[in-house]
Structure 1
């Protein structure tokens, strides 16, 4: 781990890691079956219970809250208690087998570099046999103020409610045509992070849902290979729907490239943007 911003680094990493491990789950973490299982001064361990009734591969959007959680908690575990963090970007590189239905996946996260204003962390997600599911990196900006996480409304639901990612998010199709899809959801209380804004994992799940839908309509079945998500401004919890528009940019013989924008009022003021590469699945 490279350390630059020593003023924000926990003086007792072991004690700080134990303190953060005791933070209660938030609504998105409980809804997506996520919990921390271990901690140390430089690494945390997490598991996620996945839907078991779905057939075939699951959208990697199911891993959105996990990617944010495993990297974010690793960062929290390394910093002093009187600062907070917000997600700046998440990158997911998916393993060759994709994400298949099953009982759970396992994740570990660690801090890679602490700067004066931001922190970079990495995570590795595997199945129970140890096979790679995804590599994750997340960058977080350090913000002032003590934030004590508390359980959000609806966080008592500790298992996924549906095998459908759209149903799980409460997202509805607004428009769909070949190469373009638009979904909308109304931010619910269970989606909040400790700052009272939408948890960073929710837009990740939402963009993968829309990107996959748009690409499938244009090119047939696909599987996400890589997803880059950038957070431009926070998404508040209010009555304005959160919308995502996904557009296919290029269809090749094997690969589809697509982009997405998440916004509330206008796409000209994006809250989140995403770029995705997907593999076309050959039908036998």
Structure 2
């Protein structure tokens, strides 16, 4: 998909948009992600690149703006009284990520829709309009009774994590030779208005687990080339505050390493599974 970015939308300050595009739920307030346009199978979302203390934001943390643009593009083609759920999502790196706190834009386009599912794409652009990542996502149309479930009361973000560990809510980390297990308790501010962890933030969570494993095994610099996620169940923090993140090496070569990861409930039920490809 080729998108012609609008420079005035790309360069806009998130604070200037608050009056016209207020955060719809806690996850948007926390990340600064905003959907600023949606109509006729297209959507545009913006978000500043996260600025973490002593760490650089990586591809998975851009999943929030990618998912928002792709989902809202698809939502414009869904009949009234229905909602959508993310089934799977893939991020592909096209170039270097922009620097922290610079504004990015995701241009979403619904490329195929039927009454049950649909496919959307989103191109992620830096402040100069250069594409640095591509997202492909498939969504399911949710029955009206699920789409109209009462939303949780909106809370402005009161937690402002300064590291990925704080955003994930790491409680305990356990390693063995080729695997990491992380017990986490994320802040409720990572949720949407249904009390469910924002689908795009799942990408950041599994990215974190994968890198925690890789950097422990080797000091080499690992560059993520792509990340694929399959969503099995929502992470409903309003009902179960604990999550478990796992990552294990699938294949390790001289230049390419693939890593499998999962997000599980506190009882061990799989919520999301993922695979990432890294180059050293």
Q: TM-score, normalised by structure 2?
A: 0.81
CA distance in 2, matches of 1:49, 1:92: 17
> SS at the partner of 1:73?
helix
CA distance in 2, matches of 1:223, 1:81: 42
Superposed CA deviations along residues 151-210 of structure 1, whole A, max 9, x for unmatched, are 8544346xx924422212323442134532222222543233344333212322110100
CA distance in 1, matches of 2:103, 2:22: 21
Tell me if the contact between 1:212 and 1:224 (Cα under 8 Å) persists in the aligned partners: no
Partner of 2:229: 229
> SS at the partner of 1:205?
helix
CA distance in 2, matches of 1:93, 1:86: 21
Tell me if the contact between 1:24 and 1:151 (Cα under 8 Å) persists in the aligned partners: no
Q: Using a 3 Å threshold, how does the CA distance of structure 1 residues 77 and 155 change in structure 2: closer, same or farther?
A: farther
1:94, distance to aligned residue in structure 2 (A): 1.2
Q: Using a 3 Å threshold, how does the CA distance of structure 1 residues 71 and 171 change in structure 2: closer, same or farther?
A: farther
Partner of 1:164: 163
> SS at the partner of 1:136?
strand
Q: Cα RMSD over matched residues?
A: 2.7
CA distance in 1, matches of 2:21, 2:79: 15
Tell me if the contact between 2:48 and 2:100 (Cα under 8 Å) persists in the aligned partners: no
CA distance in 1, matches of 2:169, 2:248: 21
Partner of 1:14: none
Q: Using a 3 Å threshold, how does the CA distance of structure 1 residues 101 and 278 change in structure 2: closer, same or farther?
A: same
Tell me if the contact between 1:171 and 1:185 (Cα under 8 Å) persists in the aligned partners: yes
Tell me if the contact between 1:178 and 1:214 (Cα under 8 Å) persists in the aligned partners: no
Partner of 1:8: none
CA distance in 1, matches of 2:30, 2:76: 23
Superposed CA deviations along residues 204-255 of structure 1, whole A, max 9, x for unmatched, are 2110100111122223221211000001122222245111100012221211
Is the counterpart of residue 201 in structure 1 residue 206 in structure 2? no
> SS at the partner of 1:78?
coil
1:61, distance to aligned residue in structure 2 (A): 2.5
Partner of 2:246: 245
Tell me if the contact between 1:118 and 1:141 (Cα under 8 Å) persists in the aligned partners: yes
5+ residue gaps, structure 1 = 2-20
CA distance in 2, matches of 1:56, 1:197: 27
Tell me if the contact between 2:26 and 2:156 (Cα under 8 Å) persists in the aligned partners: yes
Partner of 1:147: 148
> SS at the partner of 1:81?
coil
Partner of 2:260: 259
CA distance in 2, matches of 1:154, 1:185: 21
Is the counterpart of residue 185 in structure 1 residue 184 in structure 2? yes
Partner of 1:10: none
The equivalences for 1:37-76 within 5 A come to 37-52=36-51, 54=53, 57-76=56-75
Tell me if the contact between 2:50 and 2:61 (Cα under 8 Å) persists in the aligned partners: no
1:52, distance to aligned residue in structure 2 (A): 4.4
Q: Using a 3 Å threshold, how does the CA distance of structure 1 residues 169 and 149 change in structure 2: closer, same or farther?
A: farther
Superposed CA deviations along residues 44-99 of structure 1, whole A, max 9, x for unmatched, are 11110224465674222321222221111111122222001111101000123145
